[in-house]
Every structure is written in structure tokens, then in C-alpha cells.
Amino acid sequence: MQAKIEELLKKKEEAKLGGGKERIKNQHDKGKLTARERIELLVDEGSFEEVDMFVKHRSTDFGLEKQKYLGDGVVTGTAKIDGRPVALYSQDFTVFGGSLSESHAEKIIKVLKLAMKTGIPVIGLNDSGGARIQEGVVSLGGYADIFLLNTLASGVVPQVSVVMGPCAGGAVYSPAITDFIFMIKNTSYMFVTGPNVVKTVTHEDVSFENLGGAETHASKSGVAHFVNENEVEAIASVRKLMSYLPLNFMDRSPKVEFDMSSITPQEELDSIIPDSPNKPYDMKEIINLIVDDNDFFEVHSHYAENIIVGFGRIGGRSIGIVANQPEVLAGVLDINASVKGARFVRFCDAFNIPLLVLVDVPGFLPGTEQEWNGIIRHGAKLLYAFCEATVPKITVITRKAYGGAYDVMNSKHIRGDFNFAWPSAEIAVMGPKGAVEIIFKKDIEKSENREAEIENKLNGYIEKFANPYIAAERGYIDDVILPRDTKIKLINSFSLLEKKVDTNPRKKHGNIPL
């Protein structure tokens, strides 16, 4: 028996070496951790339970039968993060460049199925050269099998992808289906076709970094939700993200202990809105004052910055926040902002995370570029997402709520549970100046002093309509609140809505305007 135990221990040590010491050194020389080092940093100490350590590939072509490594280029298993269970896989670039074979794919699929059966999140640490070319269509089939499981798991358990090296060709579509993508500056990239193919087809000269690097996908394409300076920072960010997420679609939004006696009126909020309705301010200042410990975990911070999305806690309860940002494009809704907001709202709704919506929106961005690229269709995605969501939804209008954007930003009409407004709120079909020029067009044209007439009509319009009280008279606003009391109002409202039940009509699924 002792000999058999020694053989087992020897095999385990062999598996832990992956492609060998020289390749591990190469990985470190590139500023990258190994697959197992990444797992050790990510999960609670001693919690990782590995599965399929002894799997090898079954290919016999192109001399592969002479090159077999235990684990076949991916480490899989379960672990805990802050005491809560997760399933995970970590691709090992030291073995065949982390390339995906039939066996490699089967290991990932097993973990995805296990996660769905047990109701725990999945984290994928991606570092792969793509399909193992020597296996041909078998490796392509492995990718498709993974894509199917990613799709079936969507909305069942949270799925997080961390791109820690190359991710090209078909490999990009697994992370793309998952809920959140992390990338690392200078060491990770994603693209469907690489720079050489791009040059051949379009004659464009582009670097790996500019085509599909972390900063490109974080700011231009919106593919990456988070961009980090290095792997250690990325892994710490993943741990923080997981603290806000439930384990599965039946689980409740996480809640931590909170000292209610610590709540006092936040008088800074009373003076945060500028006197001029056209002067910008930073909505993040309001968010940081409202959330517990001034701790807001922003998602997509470099993309479509005219809308803010992310996670925070209010009264210890994990919530999702969607907010217009007056500091960027006056907080207007455009194509990218609409899509960014819609995807975040749908994620929160899928996993029972309550939503707080902070509104200061002058409308949708006008122009031929927006219209020709489908602002109608893309804006409808955000509308659809809010309409469909059945989680607790609370809206606070801080200043402008104009036109169709008022409707879209979780208005009472699309099942907002509590809709509050600050005294500075302006709820109207459009901005005062535009409204006056339409309503009083004939009077203005007849006037000898056009500017004075506009000014006169404008003052009257602002006094009558640029406020929250007409909407409040009709019940579209539940209460006009003092800004300083916002947090306690939100804590009480979310507490009341904790056991909220709302449903959508029975159907196979809706047809969101993709």
C-alpha cells in the first residue's frame, strides 16, 4: 500500500508542475502567474478541491502521443471565497500554451455542470493560445460545447471571466457570454482575428494592444467590464465583486451587519446640485455619500461614462446602482449608455439584486450618427430591461428627467416601486427653453423684442413646470424628499421591499430588441 501511496503523491507533484519548471519560469518572466498560483490568490486558503487532476489528452496525431501532461492544460475544481462556495477553472499556459483540446474542454464542461447542479458561481481564469490545432474539429467542438453550457448557465449562476493572457478566435465567445470580464493591462488581449489577418484583409496596421488590449476593450468596445494593472489587483477585484453577488438565481442579495444608529442626515447632499440647471456635477459624489462606507464598486467605469453602473451596499444590503452622469455629455442617454445600462439591469434582475436608479437625464442624444446606428432600437433595450425587471426598484430624481428618458429611467409607469424626487427635480417633456419656443412660437414671432419675450415666457414656464410637484400631484412621484434624508429613506424602502413579489406573464421568453 505504501508504494501505491507514494505513486499517487508522485503523480500529484507531477501534475502541479504543469509544463515543467522551465515553462513556469517563462510565465513568471512575462510578469504572469501560473494557473495554480492564480487559484491560491483567488480562493480562501486551503479551500481548493481539485477535480480531474489526472486527465490527459487522447490525441495521437502529429506526435502528440509523445507529449502528455497530467491535467491537460487546465486546473479545475471548487473552492470558497470569503467562506462562500464557487466553481472555477484556470487555464495553464505552460501546457501546450493553454490550448483547448477535447479533454481540456470536457474538464471545463464538468465544472460548469457541477456549478449548475449545486447552484454556485463559476469563475474562469483564461490564458490560452486557442484551439489545439493538432486536434482539428474536435477542439472546435469542445469550444461549442462550452458555449452551450455558458448559455444554459446564464441567469442560473453568476459567471465571471478573467482574461489573463491571449484569448483569440472562437475562444473569445465563452467570456463574451459570461456576466463579467476582467482584463489586465499589457498582458491580456481579446480579438476574433489577430493583427496579421486584419492587415491581410483590410490593410490596416494595428498592434495587439490597440486591436484587443485591456484598455481598448474597457473604453472603446465595452467588452471588458474591469481593467486592472496586474494579476494580483485583478484577483482582488474578483473577490470584491463576488461579495456583492448571490450564489444563484434563487439566492437573495447578500446582506451584512449594519449599525442603523450610524445614520445621520447628510447635509452635504442639500448643496450638491448647482443653482444653474446647465452646470454639471459629479453623480459619483452622491453615490458615495449614499452607499455604506463610501464604498461603490463601479462596473464599466471607462465605457459610456455618461451612465454609471455598479454595486454598493445600503443599510448592509447589496444593491445595483444605475445613474446618469451629468459630468459627461450632460448625462444624456446614447447608444452605448443604453446598452451598458440594459445589460447591468438584466444581470441584477436575474440574480435578485435590488436596483437604485439616480436620474438626471436631459433626454436621448440627437444626431444622424445616433439615429442611423439605431438609438431607437438600443434605447429600447434599456426600457425593456427596466420594464421586465421584477426586483425591488427605487428611483430618485435629483434634477432633470425630460422626455422619453424620464419614462425609460425606471419611472413609476414601468413598475418603479418607490419613485422619489429632490426639490431640485425638473420633470417635463423637454427642457424649458425648447418647450417655450414651441408652445409660444406665434407670440415670440409677433413680439418686437424676441429675446425679452422668450425670457418672459421662460420664467413663467420654469415656475410652473420645472419642478417635481405636478408629477407628485398625479402620484407619479411618491414623495419629494430632502436630499439629506435620502439614505434613511432608501434603507426603509428597500427593507419594506425585501419580500416583494412581482411576476411577468407566462411565456417562453421575450424578444428584447437586440
Catalytic residue annotation: 169-170, 404-405
What is the grid cell recorded at 140? 472546435
Contact 195, 206 (CB under 8 A): yes
Q: Phi/psi of residue 77, each to 5°?
A: 165, -160
The SS3 assignment for 137 reads helix
Contacts of 446 (CB under 8 A, 6+ apart): none
Contact 327, 283 (CB under 8 A): yes
Q: Given phi > 0 = left and psi -120 to 50 = alpha, else beta, which region is 198?
A: alpha
Nearest Cα neighbor of 485 from 246, 164, 270, 329 is 270
Nearest Cα neighbor of 79 from 37, 40, 35 is 40
Q: Cα–Cα distance between 209 and 359 in angstroms, integer?
A: 36
Q: Cα–Cα distance between 59 and 68 in angstroms, integer?
A: 9
- H helices of 17-136, where? 21-29, 35-42, 102-118
Secondary structure element (H or E) that encloses residue 400, with its range: strand 393-402
Q: Cα–Cα distance between 399 and 315 in angstroms, integer?
A: 25
Q: Cα–Cα distance between 394 and 366 in angstroms, integer?
A: 28
Residue 82 corresponds to which amino acid? Answer: D
Angle subtended by helix axes 35-42 and 231-244, to nearest 10: 40
The SS3 assignment for 510 reads coil
Q: Phi/psi of residue 80, each to 5°?
A: -130, 145
Contacts of 358 (CB under 8 A, 6+ apart): 283, 286, 287, 321, 322, 323, 324, 395, 396, 398
Can you give the C-alpha Rg of the chain in angstroms?
A: 26
Contact 263, 328 (CB under 8 A): no
Nearest Cα neighbor of 185 from 40, 31, 28, 324 is 31
Q: What is the DSSP string of 178-203?
A: SSEEEEETTT-EEESS-HHHHHHHH-
Nearest Cα neighbor of 127 from 185, 43, 187 is 187
Q: Cα–Cα distance between 105 and 142 in angstroms, integer?
A: 5
Q: What is the total residue count of the chain?
A: 514
